[in-house]
Amino acid sequence: MFKQLRHISMALAVAALVAAACGAPTPSASSSPGASPSAGGAASTLVIDRDTSDLISLDPAVLYEFSAVFATHNVYETLVKFEGTDLTTPKPGLATSWDIKDAGSNWDITFKLKSGVKFASGNPLTADDVVYSVQRAIKLNKSPAFLFTDIAGLKAESIKATDPTTVVVTMPKTSSTQTFLIILTFTIGGVVDSKELKTKETAGDFGSAYLLDHSAGSGPFSVDHWTKNTEVLLKANPNSATKPSLSAVLFKHVPEPTNQQFALEKGDIDIANDLGSEQIAALQGKAGVTTTSADSLLLVYVGMNAMFKPLDNVKVREALRTAVDYDGIVKNLLKGNGKKVQGIVPKGLAGYNESTPFQADVAKAKSLLQEAGQTNISLEFLVPTGSAPGGVAWSDLAAKLKSDWAAIGVTVNIKQTATAELLATYRAQKGQLVMINWGPDYPDPGANVNPFTDYKAKSISFRNGWDDPIATKAHEAELISDPAKRVAAYKEITDYVLHNGPYVVLYQPAELFGLRSNVKGFNWSSIGWAELASVTK
């Protein structure tokens, strides 16, 4: 009897100990006022759930991944920048003005720097820091370096400081000054603290090992820490001229959209970054939650390989474009999470062509096929696995196209394969019809028009066996300095590709976000970031 009592009392003691350690089961910690100081306190910390598995580095000269671009855009400042969600006109950033001068065989661009800017370390930002940052990116030669070296045609010696507030960049005339300004708005244009980084250099790495998970910028936030596979914490930079109302921003690595949705509804996070149409639908009408969407810069398209008959016939390609029910795709499959865009430049970029002349015209498509003398067409249709941008399954999209094309007597055999395998076939010009998406490397029409038109670039037009003289015009357009004339030139090119190119551009997907109702000022830019300094909660 006593023995039994002793066992029971021991069990009770253990239970009491565990209960004391556990306390009341309140999982929602974000509402707890006694938040960890490392996160800056729950009340003024913005918590964003996002799949951050793409993170490789937070160094602006190394990173080229979506999550890193979003985070570090708020950590580093650039000479020129886009304001808000506009991606067409670069505005002054660290440079108050710039002057483009014809120097004979080159362009000379002179940037005058803003005075009084300080890095998070307290060091003043000077022209030497700008020179160091650009040279560093070129010399490190990591993923984004091609933007400076290949697109802008820069070498390390192309940039110099003429005084502490003046930087001169010498560019070859084979590159576009407009494109260069746009590249400067991207994270690779982020200016780093050269004095601080020189103290962190190891084995000539320009401080890259340090910047992997630290920062040395002048933006409104600094990197506090990056715990791999778990979180990135940004803290407000007290030396920044921009004073954010948030004390910190926490990017939590949560790959499952359903978990993001649950956490948002429970109030454990402020923003869910990777929601699909299913989660957005589930969030409608829920208390304390709002949803928003923004254009991405992606285009989902079908490439028609002109090396395969009868796709070499421009009328057959036009027939395939004409037969597709674009409105049905946007309305029924995407459920509105995308828009009908048929040109090769997405909405949001300069040079976007609003023309959408195609919409399920079966009679016209059939007559085009008759004119081409083609009545019995059978083609292989390569389709990736998983979900397409905008949240629809690639297979559903493929089935819809198959049915649209069947209506005009074109049979396609869908072959679904992993993206990596599909790309290998596509690159080797071995696909007949290939469905995939494309996003520009930098927010300039040239980043789409060149790959879609220039066969020699061995990109999209090469993969579809389309070698057309329009490529010359595309390169000429890229080099035009006057923005208005440039847009006009691109309009002409995109109109031509719309009817002659080997592409069926299906739609431009939207990006979907769930937000707590108290989060204000979150405006997503299509290039892949939001200015977190203007966000309040």
Partner 1 sequence: MRFLGFLTRRIVGIAAVMVGVSIITFAISHVIPADPVAAALGDHATDQQIEAFRAEYHLDRPLPEQYLTYVTGLARGDLGRSIRTRRPVSDDLFDSFPATIELSLAALLVAIVVGIPAGVWSAISRGRLPDHLVRLLSLIGGSIPVFWLGLIVIGLFYYQLGWLPGGARIDTFVTPPPTRTGLYIVDSLIAGDLEAFRSSLLHLVLPALTLGYFSTAVIARMTRSSMLEVLGQDYMRTARAKGLQERLIILRHGLRNALIPTVTILGLTFGSLLSGAVLTETIFSWPGLGRYATAAAIALDFPAVLGVTLLAAIVYPIGNLVVDIAYFWLDPRTQRG
| Residue closer to partner 1, measured from CB, 115 or 229 | 229
| Residue closer to partner 1, measured from CB, 139 or 499 | 139
Distance CA(497)–CA(515), nearest Å, equals 39
Site for partner 1, rule CB under 8 A: 21-23, 25-30, 32, 35-36, 38-39, 41-42, 45, 47, 53, 56-57, 146, 227-230, 250, 252-256, 258-259, 262-263, 265-266, 268-269, 418-421, 423-424, 427, 436, 438, 441, 451, 458-459
Do residues 110 and 166 make contact, with C-beta atoms less than 8 angstroms apart? yes
**Residues contacting 399, CB < 8 A, separation 6+:** 414
Distance CA(489)–CA(473), nearest Å, equals 8
Shortest separation between residue 83's beta carbon and partner 1, angstroms: 27
- How many residues comprise the chain? 537
Shortest separation between residue 261's beta carbon and partner 1, angstroms: 9
Shortest separation between residue 337's beta carbon and partner 1, angstroms: 22
Distance CA(315)–CA(218), nearest Å, equals 55
Backbone dihedral angles phi then psi of residue 357, each to the nearest 5 degrees: -80, -10
Shortest separation between residue 285's beta carbon and partner 1, angstroms: 16
| Residue closer to partner 1, measured from CB, 352 or 438 | 438
| Residue closer to partner 1, measured from CB, 193 or 268 | 268
Shortest separation between residue 47's beta carbon and partner 1, angstroms: 6
| Residue closer to partner 1, measured from CB, 66 or 496 | 66
Shortest separation between residue 420's beta carbon and partner 1, angstroms: 4
The distance of Cα 233 from the centroid of its chain, to the nearest Å, equals 20
CB-facing half-sphere around the CA of 517: CA atoms within 13 A: 9
Distance CA(175)–CA(239), nearest Å, equals 36
Residue type, 510: A
Residue in the structure block whose two tokens are 């395998």: 421
Residue type, 121: S
Shortest separation between residue 362's beta carbon and partner 1, angstroms: 32
Residue in the structure block whose two tokens are 């596509």: 426
Helix (H, G, I), strand (E, B) or coil at 205: coil
Shortest separation between residue 266's beta carbon and partner 1, angstroms: 7
Do residues 387 and 334 make contact, with C-beta atoms less than 8 angstroms apart? no
| Residue closer to partner 1, measured from CB, 238 or 255 | 255
Q: The sheet that has 106-113: what strands, in order across it? A: 95-103, 106-113, 166-172, 159-163
| Residue closer to partner 1, measured from CB, 1 or 420 | 420
**Residues contacting 537, CB < 8 A, separation 6+:** 44, 46, 246, 270, 516, 518, 519, 520
| Residue closer to partner 1, measured from CB, 44 or 313 | 44
Q: Which two tokens stand for residue 404?
A: 């649209």
Give the CA distances from residue 384 to residues 39, 191, 413, 426, in Å, rounded to whole numbers and listed in that order.
40, 39, 14, 11
Shortest separation between residue 79's beta carbon and partner 1, angstroms: 25
| Residue closer to partner 1, measured from CB, 224 or 531 | 224
